[in-house]
């Protein structure tokens, strides 16, 4: 019996929407090394770590084009600078100032969210701080990327549908034009 060699299967290239930028804001450096190792080794992500949220806001304010790419901030803050700068208030400020930013916030179990508006929009994901935190952060990053790809594919689908409908309409108008001005073509 002869075995046929069909060759290698072609590689499927994933259509990544845009570059993916991960910003890790961790004031006590719990997850910085592990997350950097996990994401920088793959080469798909640009990872930058910050020790305070103020350095992060300075950095992100200096960036020129923020519309391109998926930007995800992983915030793991335990300390607060005062009542006006608690991690919850800073997170809300970031979400309102930078509309392109998605946030994964690592919290204690007792600090779970009270405001659902940002959570429902998909821009804010809460992760409990425990032994599974790294896995949950990874799942949150994949969820955000998947949502962005889904949104982009939906936009592309709508554009393709509009082009298809416009071409059908154009064909029908051309047929109507021919029918009106050249009626002998349709009679056999």
**Phi, psi for 50 (deg, rounded to 5):** -135, 150
More confident residue, 80 or 171: 171
Global pTM reads 0.70
Alpha carbon distance 71, 46 (integer Å): 10
End-to-end CA distance of the chain: 60
CB distance 125 to 140 below 8 Å: yes
CB distance 52 to 77 below 8 Å: no
pLDDT of the residue at 54: 81
pLDDT of the residue at 12: 39
The strand order across the sheet containing 45-50 reads 45-50, 20-26, 70-76, 101-107, 124-128
Alpha carbon distance 115, 112 (integer Å): 9
In the chain, % of residues over pLDDT 70: 74
- pLDDT bracket for residue 110 (50, 70, 90): low
Burial class (CB in 10 A: 0-12, 13-18, 19+), 36: middle
The helix/strand/coil state of 68 is coil
Residue 180 pLDDT more than 80? yes
Place of tokens 């800073």: 90
* Mean pLDDT within 87-114: 75
- pLDDT bracket for residue 120 (50, 70, 90): low
CB distance 28 to 22 below 8 Å: no
């Amino acid at each position: 019996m002869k075995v046929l060699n069909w060759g290698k299967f072609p590689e499927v290239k994933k259509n990544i929407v845009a570059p993916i930028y991960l910003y890790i804001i961790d004031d006590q450096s719990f997850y910085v090394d592990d997350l950097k190792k996990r994401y920088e080794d793959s080469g798909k992500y640009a990872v930058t770590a910050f020790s305070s949220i103020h350095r992060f806001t300075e950095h992100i304010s200096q960036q020129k084009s923020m519309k391109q790419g998926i930007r995800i901030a992983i915030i793991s803050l335990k300390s607060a600078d005062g009542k006006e700068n608690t991690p919850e208030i800073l997170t809300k400020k970031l979400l309102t100032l930078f509309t392109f930013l998605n946030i994964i916030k690592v919290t204690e179990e007792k600090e779970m969210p009270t405001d659902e508006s940002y959570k429902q929009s998909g821009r804010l994901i809460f992760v409990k701080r425990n032994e599974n935190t790294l896995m949950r952060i990874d799942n949150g990053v994949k969820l955000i990327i998947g949502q962005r790809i889904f949104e982009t594919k939906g936009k592309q689908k709508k554009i393709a549908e509009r082009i298809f409908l416009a071409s059908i309409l154009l064909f029908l108008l051309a047929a109507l034009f021919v029918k009106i001005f050249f009626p002998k073509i349709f009679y056999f």
